[in-house]
Amino acid sequence: MRHNFDEIIDRKNIHSSKWDDCNYRFGVDKNVEMIPMWIADMDFNSPKEVVDEIKKRAAVGNYGYIVTSEDFYNSIISWFKKRYDVNVKKDWIVFSPGVLSGLNAAIQSLTNKNDGIIIQEPVYYPFMDGANNNERKIVNNQLINTNGHYEIDFDDLEAKCKDSNNKLMIISNPHNPVGRSWTKEELIKLCKLCCDNDVILISDEIHSDLTMKGHKHEVVLGLSDEISQNSIVMHSASKTFNLAGLQTAYSIIPNENLRNKVVEQLKKNRITNMNWFGPCALIAAYNDCEYYVDELCEYVYQNMLYMKEFIDRKLPNIKMNISEATYMVWVDFRGTGMSNDQIEYFITNEAHIGVDYGRWFGKAGEGFLRINLACPRKILKKAMDNLLNAFKKIDD
């Protein structure tokens, strides 16, 4: 591999949310050594080409306001073509500091107070925040869990799309936290229900580059012209290349009417200016670092295989499937016999691992934990040893 994913990066005391905020976040004494496997960023350095470009820009010594360059748009257009064979036009691309700021601008501009927003729990909890904080109604099209494999309840979705009070649907594609890479057939069926019932679709595809072997990401905008005119894709290089702190994301909105409304809302919120380093990092990543993505996915996949083999062999009361996409795994602790509160206490205060609690993703997540495997294998092995030893203490 060109990139060393086994390298241990010391992320303590550099204001890393994942590491420096872990003990506080989970209410653990600061002297306890926690293993942070929660928030979705990686314990791998960004590609060398990205780091070098940031150093080059930093050396200029002047960090005033910047304009959006043609290279920014062209790198995104090129990335979607070479990775997904999807044609994106420059005019469709709308900057936002993060996917969530773009998502909230879309909610504010495309729906009204008390309108219904369809989501699919268990799901990334800021979707719920986006609805609640803007006084919209959450409408749950809950996913069907069959032995750890999640599917869409299309009968329920059809009924909810036909309800004229429901104006917008937000999907996680691929799905965070359950790790599904939705198939083309699933997405076409879902998108057609939205189109036929005037429900605007937002597809959060921030994890799309992190698709595991044997699966293929389907960009919603590549399904049909009808679907693309009813859809917004939200994206960023942040998960793929570990650039979240550089605050550079974008939406792709082919429909001019929808796009103008979102852009106007972003302007109302004074979201117009990029920071100095985010665009150059994105451009370098998309133009020069495709190798990094392929190597990253293979490394994370091997982490998943390691963890599953460990659990199957030593912790049979826990259930885990290999994720089809994302660098997280969705782990079922219900077979331990512990209550949801006991599971959370156990993983935090006995195993000393910081993870995302399943209930954060909705009631359907109770009894589950989302665990981030974008880390060197040495860290994963230590976490698994902690988990095993914590269970042994219970048995003793």
pLDDT mean for each 10 residues of the chain (396 residues): 95 96 95 97 98 97 93 98 98 96 97 98 97 97 96 98 98 98 98 98 98 97 98 98 96 98 95 92 98 98 98 97 98 97 98 98 97 98 98 84
Cis, peptide link before residue 279, omega less than 30° from 0: no
Query: In what helix (H) or strand (E) does residue 36 lie, and over which residues does it extend?
Result: strand 35-36
| CB count in 10 Å sphere of residue 84 | 18
Strands 116-119 and 319-320: unpaired
- Predicted pLDDT of residue 353: 98
Please list, in sequence order, all residues whose beta carbon lies within 8 angstroms of the beta carbon of residue 103, skipping any fewer than 6 positions away. 126, 127, 130, 170, 202, 204, 234
CATH, range 17-47+290-395: 3.90.1150.10
Contact 201, 171 (CB under 8 A): yes
Query: In what helix (H) or strand (E) does residue 16 lie, and over which residues does it extend?
Result: none
Any idea what the Cα angle at residue 99 is, between residues 96 and 104, rounded to 5°?
85
Name the 3-class secondary structure at 353: strand
Round to whole Å and give the CA distance between 98 and 252.
13
- Predicted pLDDT of residue 267: 95
Round to whole Å and give the CA distance between 196 and 213.
33
- What are the residue boundaries of the structural domains of the chain, listed by start? 17-47+290-395, 63-287
**Nearest one of 232, 106, 229, 118 to 169, comparing CA atoms:** 118
Q: Which residue has the tokens 């994206």?
A: 235
Pseudo-torsion of CA 389, 390, 393, 395, nearest 10°? -100
- Predicted pLDDT of residue 396: 66
Round to whole Å and give the CA distance between 360 and 349.
18
Round to whole Å and give the CA distance between 19 and 38.
9
Supply the pTM of this predicted model: 0.96
Round to whole Å and give the CA distance between 284 and 275.
15
What would be the CATH architecture of the domain defined by 63-287? 3-Layer(aba) Sandwich (3.40)
Strands (E) located in 49-158:
93-96, 116-119, 137-140, 144-146, 149-151
